[in-house]
């Protein structure tokens, strides 16, 4: 079981959101970073919702090759941070399976409480966004949406193959929100844009936004994401 931080809604819980942190971070860390983005802005809501439970899991520690094999909280391993470098499929699948087990328990609890998978969103920042793309478009196609901030998929990602296989039997897929900083020196803007273009060429419906950010989360980006979240899973007073 992964450690996770949970922020309950102010009102009746009718939807859920799972937010995955970037490499080397924690659920508490990404939650704090998001809160800091709203400090001093006058926005009293922040990233809190009247009806949405926000869940911040922490990735399990494992050796991470880009850090010379040092232990870090990461969702999967990779050879290096590069668009053209193939995924380490075994690592992605193992980490995905571990997180899926957690998601299954979360989804099962939400469904038992009367919340359908279509009212559950998954997303994240950097590596967390990449993991969310794997989860939403490989394993949990019944979710309400996926978001990825400053994230990318490898050029030959297994996600694309999974979408093509899925199209043979069904057409519905989660909607997508992606955003990226044009000054990002770690995960290049072009990688995120190419990822979005390839996903949408395969039938994924979504939106892509650019900001004058480095490798970071920003206030304007979070406002736009917050609006998208509420559009995807609005406050259902009849549920």
Q: Which residues are catalytic?
A: 126, 184, 215
Residue pair 124/20 in contact by the 8 Å Cβ criterion: yes
Residues 6 or more apart from 215 whose CB is under 8 A from it?
A: 126, 150, 181, 184, 185, 186, 187
Neighbours of 51 (CB within 10 A): 21
Distance from C-alpha of 64 to C-alpha of 77, rounded to nearest angstrom: 5
Cβ atoms of 162 and 137 closer than 8 Å: yes
Query: What CA–CA distances, in Å, run from 190 to 1, 156, 211, 231?
Result: 35, 15, 13, 27
**Helices then strands, each counted (H, E), the chain:** 6, 9
């Amino acid at each position: 079981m992964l450690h996770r931080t949970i922020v309950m809604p102010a009102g009746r819980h009718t939807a859920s959101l799972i937010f995955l942190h970037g490499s080397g971070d924690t659920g508490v860390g990404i939650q704090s970073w998001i809160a800091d983005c709203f400090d001093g802005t006058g926005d009293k809501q922040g990233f809190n919702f009247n009806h949405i439970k926000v869940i911040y899991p922490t990735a399990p520690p494992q050796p991470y090759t880009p850090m010379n094999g040092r232990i870090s909280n990461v969702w999967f391993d990779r050879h290096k941070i590069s668009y053209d470098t193939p995924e380490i499929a075994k690592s992605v699948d193992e980490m995905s399976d571990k997180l899926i087990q957690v998601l299954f328990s979360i989804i099962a609890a939400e469904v038992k409480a009367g919340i359908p998978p279509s009212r559950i969103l998954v997303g994240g920042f950097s590596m967390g966004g990449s993991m969310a793309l794997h989860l939403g478009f490989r394993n949990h196609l019944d979710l309400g949406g996926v978001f990825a901030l400053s994230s990318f998929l490898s050029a030959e990602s297994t996600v694309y193959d999974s979408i093509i296989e899925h199209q043979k039997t069904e057409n519905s897929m989660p909607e997508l929100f992606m955003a990226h900083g044009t000054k990002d020196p770690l995960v290049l803007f072009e990688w995120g844009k190419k990822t979005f273009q390839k996903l949408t060429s395969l039938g994924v419906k979504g939106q892509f936004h650019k900001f004058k950010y480095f490798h970071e989360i920003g206030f304007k980006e979070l406002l736009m994401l917050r609006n998208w979240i509420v559009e995807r899973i609005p406050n259902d007073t009849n549920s």
